[in-house]
Amino acid sequence: MQKTPQKIKFGTDGWRAVMCDTFTFANVRLVVQAIASYIHDSGKAHKGVVIGHDARFLAERFAEEAAKVMVANGIKVLMFNEDAPTPVVAYAVTLYQTAGAVMFTASHNPPEYNGIKYIPEYGGPASTDITGAIESNLNKLTSVSADSVDLEIARQQERLQLIDPRGEYFDHISRLVDFDAIQQSGLRLVCDPMYGSGRHYLPEILAVNGCQVETIRGYRDPLFGGGLPEPTEKELTPLIDKVKATGSHLGLATDGDADRFGVIDGTGRYITPNQVIALLLVHLVERRGYTGAVVRTVATTHLLDRLAEKYGLELIETPVGFKYICELMRRQSVVIGGEESGGLSIGHHIPEKDGILANLLMAEMQATRGKALGEVLTDIMNDVGFFYSRRIDLRYPEVKKASLVKTLASAPPPRIAGRSVERVIDIDGAKLVLEDGSWFLVRPSGTEPLLRVYIEASSETIVEELAVAVREFVESH
């Protein structure tokens, strides 16, 4: 028996915590019990549940404990036979038409972290009302017992089934990506799974389709080589070096659970997530003829706004978190939905961010353009305008964060860095749009005494001016 733990709260993408501190087997059983109760309450327990995990330390053990809890609750389990990417687990939910999935991952977080995501039956992030119901169940929970469940006996009784939907996922992706174009172009590609769960997926689907691909950091390492499994420019130095050394046309990376992407062009230039989303919007509209809305979070580049205007498409802004993009993808036709932190999905795919698909589409775009993607990006911005983005973190007292953001939204300064404030957007934090189209967003961190500041302008000089001005404003308050 375990008592209900304290401080277990679902964030924008599930519950994450440090292993051996809050993320323990006892607490995992309690959280999974709360999910099982939600599934029963929703009347979908007969559909079963998928259980998956990434490549982190003890991930398969946590998944087995989750399976025991689900079986003890009379819910059939379809469990991955090895670690798998989050988007593949989400796809499996729709493939097998289950009530949802329990995914063990801490995504791009440091190796000492682990986490749980609940993926509902639509194959995307759980909405706030769903995570709220799970948290409510957790708060009422006093104990959980699954000690009597033997997973081998559960397999024999067909209450547990091992699955490997890689082939079906590859078939689905092949309907979204032109592998013939990639193969026939002769592109030389380097893949970097960053020791994570993309290692069996991104390089393999390229190889089986006849593409030239080389892999680095392509084995499981729960310590992620001593770094972070986050495809930022800093963490992708080995990929940049490999692209340059081999004369490859493109470097493609996935984070720990392969829901985020990282792209290096043939010159060794890091293409930011903001830029990748914009490039793929152009590609999907101009080459594929996609129509529908363009969806971005409030922290994501306004280059998408300019492109949407050019193509006559609706632009929708959401709070930070892919779950809000998911909600729109479920309701209407969407060309692309993306966030500056490195997640995107497209129409005709699951409403979950997928780093594997994002990378493959970038390879397809490279194959059809005949020039480095950095040059393509410059061509695009020469057409619609230049956008430079930056994020900075400012330390700020925990007890004052919310008050500062509220003040900034309700009583903003009339001018910042010599530019008048034209409008304020308060759907998530305080976003001030200035007279020249530049903007900055201030959001409180949900886990640290920090303010997240996102800045975008038409030049690096203006970005720096705004960074100084915002820092001075924060320090003065």
The residue among 438, 439, 440 whose CA lies nearest residue 451 is 440
The residue among 456, 410, 447 whose CA lies nearest residue 429 is 410
- My answer on whether 160 and 176 are in the same domain is no
- My answer on whether 54 and 125 are in the same domain is yes
Within-domain flag for 5: no
Burial of 315 (0-12, 13-18, 19+ CB in 10 A): middle
* Cβ–Cβ < 8 Å for 93, 32: no
Please tell me the predicted confidence (pLDDT) of residue 8: 77
- My answer on whether 91 and 144 are in the same domain is yes
Q: Which domain holds residue 247?
A: 169-384
Within-domain flag for 4: no
Within-domain flag for 317: yes
- My answer on whether 192 and 275 are in the same domain is yes
Distance CA 367, CA 70 (A): 46
Residue 270 vs residues 134, 218, 251, 252: alpha-carbon distances, Å: 39, 20, 9, 10
Distance CA 149, CA 143 (A): 16
DSSP state of 76: -
Please tell me the predicted confidence (pLDDT) of residue 10: 73
Within-domain flag for 337: yes
Retrieve residue 202's tokens.
């991104």
- My answer on whether 19 and 123 are in the same domain is yes
Domain boundary among 384, 413, 433: 384
- My answer on whether 272 and 373 are in the same domain is yes
Please tell me the predicted confidence (pLDDT) of residue 3: 46
Blockwise average pLDDT, block size 10, the chain, 477 residues: 57 79 92 95 97 97 96 97 98 98 94 95 95 91 79 95 98 98 97 97 98 98 95 97 98 97 97 98 97 98 98 97 96 97 96 98 96 95 97 91 92 95 96 98 86 97 97 89
Within-domain flag for 7: no
- My answer on whether 38 and 140 are in the same domain is yes
* Cβ–Cβ < 8 Å for 203, 216: no
Domain boundary among 355, 384, 413: 384
416: CATH = 3.30.310.50
90: CATH = 3.40.120.10
Distance CA 193, CA 174 (A): 20
Burial of 355 (0-12, 13-18, 19+ CB in 10 A): buried
Within-domain flag for 211: yes
- My answer on whether 113 and 143 are in the same domain is yes
- My answer on whether 212 and 347 are in the same domain is yes
For residue 475, which phi and psi values (nearest 5 degrees)?
Answer: -65, -30
Edge-to-edge strand ranges of the sheet holding 450-457 = 388-395, 450-457, 439-444, 430-434, 419-425, 415-416
Predicted structure pTM score: 0.95
* Cβ–Cβ < 8 Å for 201, 166: yes
3-class secondary structure, 108: coil
- My answer on whether 356 and 413 are in the same domain is no
Within-domain flag for 1: no
How many domains is the chain built from?
3
- My answer on whether 358 and 427 are in the same domain is no
Burial letters for 186-203: b for 16+ Cβ neighbours within 10 Å, e otherwise?
ebbbbbbbbbbbbbbbbb
Please tell me the predicted confidence (pLDDT) of residue 7: 66
* Cβ–Cβ < 8 Å for 26, 20: no
Within-domain flag for 217: yes
Distance CA 72, CA 159 (A): 10
Residue 221 vs residues 195, 215, 242, 356, 393: alpha-carbon distances, Å: 5, 15, 20, 19, 29
Please tell me the predicted confidence (pLDDT) of residue 12: 58
Domain boundary among 384, 413, 429: 384
- My answer on whether 155 and 240 are in the same domain is no
Distance CA 157, CA 150 (A): 11
